[in-house]
Each structure stands twice: as structure tokens, then as C-alpha cells.
A and B are shown apart, each in its own frame.
Chain A
Amino acid sequence: MSMFFIFVGAALINNFILTQFLGVCPFLGVSKKMNTAIGMGLSVLFVMTIGAALTHVVYHQILARFGIEFLQTVVFILIISSIVQFIELYMKKMFKSLYDMLGIFLPLMTTNCAIMGVALINIRDTYSFAGAMFNSVGAGSGFLLAIIILAAIREKYDNHPSIPVVFQGFPLALFSTGLMSIAFMGFQGLI
């Protein structure tokens, strides 16, 4: 049951974008069209889960064992950028259709603070391996949910003639995100 709470907590209550502001850059950057938003969301979910699993194992089995925890930032960022490259090559070879859908988003994952953020949070909150996995899948699903909602909103109003020019684009996306964030505050009493 506690694993379920971790999942729900990461996906809805502490939604990465709407309450913790991790991964805001890609969230605002690629939420103009629904299909790119889904591609981005799925890539984040995918890389986040694999990245969190590897960083968790490396931190506890190597860094903590030899007392070199201060190297965490350097090691995590290297792990994440190398798995991104590895996944890209593997997908290109084995899953061509998936690669065509997610390919262009994968290189962006290296500088996505949500991926690095979930790895750091797993260590900070001392999750067990299973807990860390549920936390990362939850955080990734929360990202996917938020970016799909925003893309659905933006497809309706972007470049709509009735909206003043100064409002279009980023300002309105930010206001919509703010309103979504208020709505998600309602989840706070859930657990």
C-alpha cells in the first residue's frame, strides 16, 4: 500500500511541474501540438525510470560503499547522458517506429532537470529501490499528464484571432499552467 501512496504522491500531489517546477523548460517548449507533447511525455517517463534505477544502484552500491557521495552530481549527470545516448542507439536499431516518434526528443533529455531531479530526490528522501521505482514512474506519469493537459488547452487557443497578440504564446501558456497548478492543489488532502 505504501508503494501506491508514493506513486500517487509523485504523480498528483507533488506533481513535478505544477508544484516542484522540475522540467518546466521542455514542458513549455514542446506543448504546442498534441502529438509532440505525447512524444515528449513518454520519452521523459521512459528515460526517467531507467535513469532513476541506474543512479539508485550506483549511488548505494558504489558511491556510498566507498564513501565518495560528494561525487553524486558528476556521476549522475554522466550516467544520464550516457544512457540517453545508449537508448537512442538501441531504439534506432531495434524499435524503429518508437524511434521515429521519440527520436528528436531524446537528446534533450540530458539537460532536462526533471530526470536529474528525480534521481536526486530518490537519494534525498532515502527511498528503497522499489520506492524509488514507484516514485520515478509516478513523477514521469505526472509529467505526461500535465503536458497532455496543457497541449490540449494550447491547441484550442494558440493563434486564435480573439486573443490579443501580447497574450499569445508564453504568457497564456504560463497563466494556463498557473490555473492547472491551483487545480492540482486540490489533491493535497488526498492522502
Chain B
Amino acid sequence: MKNVQIQVSQLMKNGIIKENPIFVQLLALCPLLAVTTSAINAVVMGLCTTVVMMCASGAISFLKRTISPQVRIATFIVIVASFVTVVQLLMAAFAPPDINNMLGIFIPLIAVNCIVFARIEIFASKNPVFFSGVDALAMGLGVTLGLFVLGAIREIFGAGSIFGIELIADSSMHMLIMIMAPGAFFTLGTIIMIMKYRASKRRANA
């Protein structure tokens, strides 16, 4: 039992921090840049990705003995796309319309997200169902964290608010460029630069 706990906590740490899919592996960039105009959009998108990853990884791990290696990619694609369709229909039915409209085509595009396939190919197709689910959950939360950080930074600087709560009322202080397209590139570039700087300092100390 103890062993399982240790393994789970290791997987969680790995997915959320050590190998964060966005800041360390640089995967899942397309939805990342497009939906992070506000913190709430970013979090909803992250959670959708997490749900799809957990369902798909669990299902594929469960079926790993029946899927023959020659057709595995096609099988993975169909399974992932089916879960994406489920999430897409649930979003259309229950999510607030403005959030659903904003995320728009990026929900179906989860189906071509490289991080989903990376985890399936690297982890779920070789490991038991439970650990595959935990790994997918950790990686999904890592994506959510990355999206949230980017969305929060852009919303605070660009619109002076967070989750719609106003922080800076004076609109002359808002940097409109941050919530427009270029702001996404600048924010991500700065974050990656800071991470590289910290890594190089750690290397110099060691």
C-alpha cells in the first residue's frame, strides 16, 4: 500500500512540476496561446483536456492487450476523438454559452493535441489502468496549471482583473496588447526565459 502511495505522489509531482507539459516539454502550445485571454477560459480548457486525457488513457490502458501494435495509432486516434466528442457535447449542453463560444473550435482540437498522444504512447500503453489514470490526471493538471498561469498574467496585465474581479480600475493602466495575439507570445517567451535562467543558475551551483 505504501508503495502505491509513493508511486502516485511521484507521478503527480512529475506531471505537475518536474515535467510540466507546457513549460518543460513545450507541448500543447496551440490551445495554450489561444484560450489564455482570461483565467477562467484557461482553467475550463485545462479541465476539459484533463478529462479527455484521463478517460482516454484509462480506456487504452485497459485495452492494451487487445490492440494490435500495427493499428495502434489509428485506434488511439478514434478512442481520443470519441472522448473529445463526449466532452464537446457536454460543454455545449452545460457550460455558460460565452465560455463555450470563446473556446469554440479549440475543444474539438483537443483530439489533435500532442500531449494526449504522448502520454498514451509513452505511459498508458505500457502501464496498469490505475497508474495510467493517475499519470493522465497529473499531466492534465500540469496543463491546467500552465494555462492558468498564462491566463492569469495576461488577464491581470491586459484587463486589470482576475476571474472577472476587477483589480485595476483605471483603464489607462491596462496593456491591451497582452490580451491580443502578440501578448500570448511575449508572455510565454518571458516565462520560458525565466525557467531557462533558473535552470542555468542551478547548474552553475551544482
Complex Cα spacing A81 to B80, Å: 14
Nearest A residue to B26 via CB reads A170
**CB neighbors of A among B13-34 (8 A):** 26-27, 29-34
Interface of A is mostly: helix
B9 within 8 A of A: no
Interface contact A116-B114, CB-CB below 8 Å: no
- A74 with B78, Cβ < 8 A, contacts A21-B181, A120-B105, A179-B182 known: yes
B53 within 8 A of A: no
Interface contact A73-B81, CB-CB below 8 Å: yes
What are the residues of chain B within 8 A of A111 when measuring CB–CB?
112-114, 117
Contact with A along B80-118 (1 / 0, CB 8 A): 011011001100000000000000110011011110010
B74 within 8 A of A: yes
Interface contact A73-B78, CB-CB below 8 Å: no
Contact with B along A62-101 (1 / 0, CB 8 A): 0000000011111011100100000000000000000000
Interface contact B109-A167, CB-CB below 8 Å: no
- A81 with B77, Cβ < 8 A, contacts A167-B193, A170-B26 known: yes
| Chain A residue total in the interface (Cβ 8 A) | 43
The residue from A20, A77, A112, A121 contacting B34, defined by CB atoms under 8 A apart: A20
Interface contact B189-A77, CB-CB below 8 Å: no
Nearest A residue to B85 via CB reads A73
The residue from B32, B108, B193 contacting A171, defined by CB atoms under 8 A apart: B193
A157–chain B nearest beta-carbon distance, Å: 14
What are the residues of chain A within 8 A of B30 when measuring CB–CB?
21-25, 113
Complex Cα spacing A157 to B31, Å: 28
A69–chain B nearest beta-carbon distance, Å: 11
Interchain residue pairs with CB less than 8 A apart (12) = A20-B34, A21-B32, A21-B181, A24-B33, A28-B26, A72-B108, A81-B74, A116-B109, A121-B105, A166-B193, A166-B196, A175-B189
Q: Mark A residues whose CB is within 8 Å of B.
A: 18-25, 28, 70-74, 76-78, 81, 110-113, 115-117, 120-121, 124, 165-167, 170-175, 177-179, 181-182, 185
Q: Mark B residues whose CB is within 8 Å of A.
A: 26-27, 29-34, 73-74, 77-78, 81-82, 84-85, 88-89, 104-105, 108-109, 111-114, 117, 177, 180-186, 188-190, 192-193, 196-197, 200
